[in-house]
A and B are shown apart, each in its own frame.
Chain A
Amino acid sequence: MTGSVLHSVLLLVSLGGIAAIVLYFVSKKFYVYEDPLIAEIDEILPGANCAGCGSPGCKSFAEKLVTTEDISDLFCPVGGNDVMKLVAETLGKEVAEKDPTVAVLLCQGSCEVRPKTTEYQGPRTCAISALVYGGETDCQYGCLGDGDCVKVCDFDAMYMDETTGLPVIITDKCTSCEACVKACPRDILEMRPKQKRDLKIFVGCLNEDKAGIAKKACAVACIGCSKCDDICPKDAIIMTDNLAYIDPLLCTLCRKCVPVCPTNSIIETNFPPPKEKKVVDKKKTEKKKVDKKTPIVEPVNEKTDA
């Protein structure tokens, strides 16, 4: 009895010993050297594995950062300048500094302003919709409303607004990984610089059709009237193919273009409520009141003056 127990114990111990020796030599033989820096950099990176940098994950990006000599064109959009600074310090290399960006939706075509003219019963993904037909509305440039961008967002920074049928971006959560930009078959998501207090002015439309056709398809479409271009003091507005585009680098956020747009297709975000406008309105109403009351009196005054 004791003999058999002893036997089995001895057998297992010796087996373990042999395996340990074999494994030791194998691991020596097939040892792959990995730069300890890679692990260190991987620690610094956010670990979101969002692929916003172009690499499939944070580990491979860390490898890329360590192995490539000039890393000035590599950037982690999620970590931003802070993380890249740390990376630069650890590696002793120079990195580029980038202004933080945020995704914006260049379409305001909600169910109310952009009527549906057709109905599609196939699978609800934007990619297939864009492939087989021009979308349920008459606008072939705008949002398809099937939410491919929301599905790819790893950071819960987007959701579909059910009343408007458009995706909404929560700017605080957006890490500018550009996953949504890549997923959108219509290219209606754009990365724009995150200004101070997240102030932004942009044209919320990509419709290149002529004014009449664009307006018929969508009430808030840019009709290419160039009114914003005329009023802009900094020439930040570029007109191409019946469409205005505001260059974020030139725009000084003066907001002069917003009220002149006849179709309200210029969007301003996070600006304080327009105080000036109220003042202007008051003046206007006062003037009007005066106008109404004085027409008979005024000419008399003039005559007496003369």
Chain B
Amino acid sequence: MYRYLRLTRTLEERLVALYRQSKVIGGLFRSLGQEGESVASAYALQRGRNRDFLSPLIRNLGSMLVMGAQPIEILRQYMAKAASPTGGRELNVHFGDLELGFLGQISHLGDMIPVLAGIALSFKMRREPRVALVYIGDGGMSTGTFHEGLNFAAVQRVPLVVIGEYNYWAYSTPPDRQFATSRLADRVRGYGIPAVTVDGNDVLVVYEATKRAVEGARGGDGVHFIEVETYRRKGHAEHDDQHYVPGDEIERWARERDPIDRYVAQLVERGWAEAPELEAIDAAVKAEIDLAVDTCLDEPLPDPASALPGVYATPATTDPHWYRSL
């Protein structure tokens, strides 16, 4: 788990460097401070081909890496390379792998809840012992599709685990402008779904809570909701200067509640790992990312005409407009 935490943070730091060199096309979205809950919740799934399944949001890079997404795929996506998983059609972490069990999100928050309810429904219909997990934020939980999808899943008792991320900021909007309850979990219990709130920056706590929920869902007891309290230490995207954040909130969360620092302390205190081992992992992660950047940095963008095929299975392609051949 430590490796995935470090991989997530180091990969994002490298992306910041590439962003500043104008190598990243478009925005860059950080999960700084939230890596713990993404990695730990995904880690509680059964991973491998055609096993459990998840759908990340923009700040769940860590969960994708756990499921088997490769750093070079993330880099290629952010740089819109021809060889990226979407061939330059979609941005950043918006991609998936059905076999490895992760599905790329669309930007319309809440929409992945019904879709993952449907994926979980397929597991139930085929009596496969598989579980689907989906992330939603404190902002995304205001959408209609979230509530429609969650209720549908609850009624159908499908094997779905929902991770609700209370990270204090939906772009610039604080929780008290999104909902009138104090906890996300309070809003979910009304659907007949067991809901707990946990410290999202304690990796072990998130892992254990998710594991319980996942195995409950696998056993046939329906939907589970886990609210993870965490903190978004960067802006909505790299351009956002966070002027709306009061006082020294960011520094305090960084100093006192960083999920990686806390996990390292736990590992060392409990004698599960020693500093040199962790440093070796850090070095290996850095080398892996160096190699990935070197490999893809100068790769080409997609061939322009590759924009046309694949809207439908049939017809296989769309024709260029007539004036393009004049």
Judge: A and B partners, yes or no: no
